[in-house]
Amino acid sequence: MKVIPAALKHTDLLIGEGVVKSEKRLKDTSFFADSAGVDPDLVLYEVYARTDQAKEGELNWGLSLLHPVTVNGECCMTRGHWHENTDAAEYYWCVGGTGLLLLMDEQGHAWAEEMVPGSLHHIPGVLAHRLINTGDEDLKVACCWPTTAGHDYARVEAMPFPQRAYKTEEGEIEWK
Ligand SMILES: O=P(O)(O)OC[C@H]1O[C@](O)(CO)[C@@H](O)[C@@H]1O
């Protein structure tokens, strides 16, 4: 029997064959309500992903890591998107930290699922999705989605998520 090491590994991060890291700083975003006076170089989140298996039927795997920072009170969150292919679902698996998975249907109705270490979230292709870190440590979410899904950001810009999560000085979450 030939035994070989696994090509990918979750350590604190995701490492291994084909993994590419991308980083989102405040200056790369336009989806926070008010970023005035906040350091434009503030790192909001990082994505470590293997997305090089282009063949139909293949899967991407990633780790999104959102820092416990706020932007004038607004919780750190991903840009959020629909899939271009609305038949393509996705799984999110919270591996660390606490937060919310904000979901929105095609009519603009939104709700959130609690994310805690171990929680597993199935996202049907017809729902827009955004991660929000509501905790005091990094929110780490492993993600698996079809290579044919694509990201549709324009659709979220045309119909934004209707509510935003803010953290009060007492650490409470308020929706506005
Ligand atoms: O692209 P967004 O909406 O900022 O989300 C961050 C990442 O999370 C994923 O859903 C999984 O890593 C990617 O598709 C996406 O790049």
| Contact indicator for 141, 63 with CB cutoff of 8 Å | yes
Of 36, 28, 42, 59, nearest to 148 (Cα)?
59
DSSP-derived letter for residue 39 is: -
Among 8, 122, 151, which residue has the most ligand 1 atoms within 8 Å of its CB, making it the best to mutate?
151
Q: Is the pTM of this model over 0.90?
A: yes
What is the number of the ligand 1 atom nearest to the C-alpha of 47?
Answer: 12
- Contacts of 29 by beta carbon, 8 Å cutoff, 6+ apart: 35, 44, 79
Bridge partners of 39, per DSSP, are: none
Structural domain that includes position 46: 8-175
Q: Considering the domain boundaries, does residue 65 fall inside one?
A: yes
Mean local confidence (pLDDT), 104-114? 98
pLDDT grade for 62, boundaries at 50, 70 and 90: very high
Q: How many domains does the chain have?
A: 1
Q: Considering the domain boundaries, does residue 146 fall inside one?
A: yes
Of 134, 66, 136, nearest to 100 (Cα)?
134
Q: Considering the domain boundaries, does residue 3 fall inside one?
A: no
Mean local confidence (pLDDT), 165-175? 96
Residue 174's SS3 state is strand
Query: What does the pLDDT read at residue 91?
Result: 98
Q: Considering the domain boundaries, does residue 2 fall inside one?
A: no
Mean local confidence (pLDDT), 17-46? 98
Protein residue whose Cα sits closest to atom 16 of ligand 1: 47
Any idea which residue has 């298996």 for tokens?
53
Q: Considering the domain boundaries, does residue 13 fall inside one?
A: yes
Structure tokens at 131: 């991660």
Protein residue whose Cα sits closest to atom 3 of ligand 1: 80
Q: What is the pLDDT of residues 129-158, one digit of tens each?
A: 999 999 999 999 999 999 999 999 999 999
Q: How far is CA 85 from CA 29, 102, 145, in A?
A: 24, 19, 11
Protein residue whose Cα sits closest to atom 12 of ligand 1: 62
Q: Considering the domain boundaries, does residue 113 fall inside one?
A: yes
Sign of the CA dihedral running 69, 74, 75, 81:
negative
Query: Residue 7 above 90 pLDDT?
Result: yes
Mean pLDDT of the chain: 97
Q: What are phi and psi of 151, to 5 degrees?
A: -115, 125
CATH of the domain at 112: 2.60.120.10
| Contact indicator for 130, 78 with CB cutoff of 8 Å | yes
Percent of the chain whose pLDDT exceeds 70: 100
Q: Considering the domain boundaries, does residue 88 fall inside one?
A: yes
Distance 135 CA to ligand 1 centre (A): 19
Mean local confidence (pLDDT), 33-60? 96
Q: Considering the domain boundaries, does residue 63 fall inside one?
A: yes
pLDDT grade for 94, boundaries at 50, 70 and 90: very high
Query: What does the pLDDT read at residue 54?
Result: 83
